[in-house]
């Protein structure tokens, strides 16, 4: 087959606070020259690095190369809000839930992903803040949000899952804010410092395995072709021959020519404060670290984090549909004003606190909320499109792609192969206009929770 080119390379708009506060990152070399390997993983996020870890477990002696287009932890995996959620959390559904059997299966899988991440943290000696099993709260501000939470709690009763209702004063004790009228605490969520976890996982794979991963940064795959029973993948400076490819590039599967017009490229936006001074922390009160998801999926995610880089608050909200896979600095600035408003509404006592970092990040959703997973061509495996929940689903997809390729018939493979393929989107520009209108309408409905 002829050589195929990769049409679009990833861009990461704005400096991601989580990565910036860690200070300079370890650098890995750029791929250069001619190389060969048993396995080539493309993409160094949750999915690609989990695939590398799973390969180290199952095929310890094999040669494994991983290509990352940019720098490890500078992409979506290091710029998300870090909620690794065990319970149903379907972003496309107003109530986050699905059918009971499907939810039970998903909870078990998500917990498998959590256990995998915890094992990685222990094996590679990660600091506690990288993977913190502290649970999360679904915060509400009004009767309709409370109704969402009550319905969710009823569903958790059916599933036999633990939770605790919190009233306004308990919410204030935790957050220091009068903003929330109630909340639903769910103990099973893990809160990641996403950039720290991703950096430490890469470091562990390169420096703490008997047979180290060969990791290359600033090394985008730009073309590929089948040659006999192998694949030849080119970067700007290297040619890499590998028997098996694991494509772990999330929405960029489409840039490789797969799933054409079947993946939705969505961006969401975040701001992180400067480190709070002792006086500011005193004025705020509350606990030093917590995580709040909104009861309406279109509301604001808010976290307080304590660790390297100090004590900070992070606000994430707003969504846009951008098939171009790019957003402008002007957009980040404009949505930054929304973050400021959300911040002031919650923390009027912190009027003098400035935002230190503002950024955006690319998520891949499919219209029918399914992954883009499977063997697409001989020995070319896709582990893409995590539907906005990549901390858990990307971890699972990375493990699952390796299990599928090595013919380990695990429950993860059975699950990932049980879904339909992502359905086609309406033709552009109809899909762009339609999707942005739906987003605006849903954001409008979430109004008070923004």
Ligand X SMILES: Cc1cc2nc3c(=O)[nH]c(=O)nc-3n(C[C@H](O)[C@H](O)[C@H](O)COP(=O)(O)OP(=O)(O)OC[C@H]3O[C@@H](n4cnc5c(N)ncnc54)[C@H](O)[C@@H]3O)c2cc1C
> Where does this chain bind ligand X (CB under 6 A)?
6, 9-10, 42-48, 67-70, 75-77, 79-83, 220-221, 248-250, 252, 268, 270, 316, 361, 363, 386, 388-392, 394
CB 42 within 8 A of CB 247: yes
Output DSSP code: residue 168.
H
Helix or strand run (H / E) with residue 319:
strand 310-321
Tokens 């890995």 appear where? 28
**Smallest distance, ligand X to C-beta of residue 389, A:** 4
Termini Cα distance of the chain: 50
**How many of the other CB atoms lie within 10 Å of CB of 53?**
25
**Smallest distance, ligand X to C-beta of residue 282, A:** 28
Q: Who's near 82: CB < 8 A, 6+ residues apart?
A: 18, 191, 192, 193, 194, 291, 303, 391
- Pick the closer one to ligand X by CB: 148 or 318: 318
**Smallest distance, ligand X to C-beta of residue 260, A:** 16
**Smallest distance, ligand X to C-beta of residue 17, A:** 10
Structure tokens, 266? 């969505």
**Smallest distance, ligand X to C-beta of residue 77, A:** 3
- Pick the closer one to ligand X by CB: 156 or 363: 363
- Pick the closer one to ligand X by CB: 45 or 135: 45
Structure tokens, 150? 């009550």
Structure tokens, 341? 């408003």
**Smallest distance, ligand X to C-beta of residue 70, A:** 5
Separation in Å, CA 265 to CA 74, 144, 322, 353, 431: 18, 29, 6, 33, 11
- Pick the closer one to ligand X by CB: 9 or 283: 9
Nearest to 155 by CA among 86, 98, 109, 85: 98
- Pick the closer one to ligand X by CB: 76 or 145: 76
**Smallest distance, ligand X to C-beta of residue 266, A:** 9
- Pick the closer one to ligand X by CB: 36 or 181: 36
Rounded to whole angstroms, the Cα distance separating 376 from 389 reads 23
- Pick the closer one to ligand X by CB: 281 or 294: 294
Report the side by side order of strands in the sheet with 136-140.
164-167, 182-186, 136-140, 290-294, 301-307, 310-321, 264-273, 355-365
**Smallest distance, ligand X to C-beta of residue 10, A:** 4
User: What is the dihedral sign for C-alpha 378, 214, 12, 6?
Assistant: negative
- Pick the closer one to ligand X by CB: 281 or 372: 372
């Amino acid at each position: 087959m002829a050589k195929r080119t990769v049409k679009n390379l990833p861009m990461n708009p704005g400096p991601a606070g989580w990565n910036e506060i860690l200070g300079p990152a370890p650098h890995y070399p750029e791929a250069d020259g001619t190389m060969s390997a048993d396995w080539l993983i493309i993409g160094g996020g949750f999915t690609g690095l989990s695939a590398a870890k799973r390969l180290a477990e199952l095929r310890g002696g094999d040669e494994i190369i991983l290509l990352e287009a940019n720098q490890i932890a500078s992409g979506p995996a290091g710029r998300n809000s870090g909620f690794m959620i065990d319970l149903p959390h379907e972003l496309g559904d107003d109530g986050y839930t699905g059918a009971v059997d499907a939810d039970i299966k998903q909870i078990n899988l998500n917990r498998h992903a959590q256990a995998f991440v915890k094992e990685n943290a222990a094996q590679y000696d990660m600091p506690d803040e990288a993977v913190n099993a502290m649970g999360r709260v679904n915060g509400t501000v009004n009767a309709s949000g409370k109704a969402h939470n009550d319905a969710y709690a009823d569903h958790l009763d059916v599933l036999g899952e633990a939770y605790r209702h919190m009233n306004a004063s308990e919410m204030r004790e935790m957050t220091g804010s009068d903003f929330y009228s109630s909340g639903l605490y769910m103990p099973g969520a893990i809160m990641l410092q996403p950039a720290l976890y991703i950096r430490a996982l890469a470091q562990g794979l390169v420096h703490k395995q008997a047979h180290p991963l060969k990791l290359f940064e600033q090394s985008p795959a730009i073309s590929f072709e089948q040659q006999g029973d192998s694949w030849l993948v080119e970067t700007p400076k290297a040619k890499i021959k590998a028997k098996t490819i694991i494509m772990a590039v999330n929405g960029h599967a489409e840039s490789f020519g797969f799933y054409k017009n079947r993946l939705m490229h969505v961006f969401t936006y975040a701001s992180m404060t400067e480190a709070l001074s002792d006086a500011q922390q005193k004025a705020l009160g509350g606990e030093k670290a917590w995580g709040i998801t909104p009861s309406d999926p279109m509301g604001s995610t808010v976290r307080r984090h304590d660790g390297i880089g100090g004590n900070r608050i992070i606000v994430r909200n707003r969504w846009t549909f951008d098939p171009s896979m790019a957003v402008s600095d002007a957009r980040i600035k404009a949505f930054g004003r929304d973050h400021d408003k959300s911040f002031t509404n919650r923390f009027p006592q912190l009027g003098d606190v400035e935002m230190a970092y503002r950024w955006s990040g690319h998520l891949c959703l499919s219209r029918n909320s399914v992954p883009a997973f499977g063997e697409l061509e001989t020995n070319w495996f896709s582990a893409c499109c995590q539907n906005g929940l990549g901390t858990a689903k990307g971890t699972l997809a990375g493990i699952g792609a390796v299990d599928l390729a090595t013919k380990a018939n695990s429950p993860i493979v059975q699950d990932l192969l049980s879904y339909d393929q992502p359905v086609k989107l309406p033709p552009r520009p109809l899909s762009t206009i339609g999707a942005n209108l739906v987003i605006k309408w849903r954001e409008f409905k979430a109004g008070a929770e923004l």
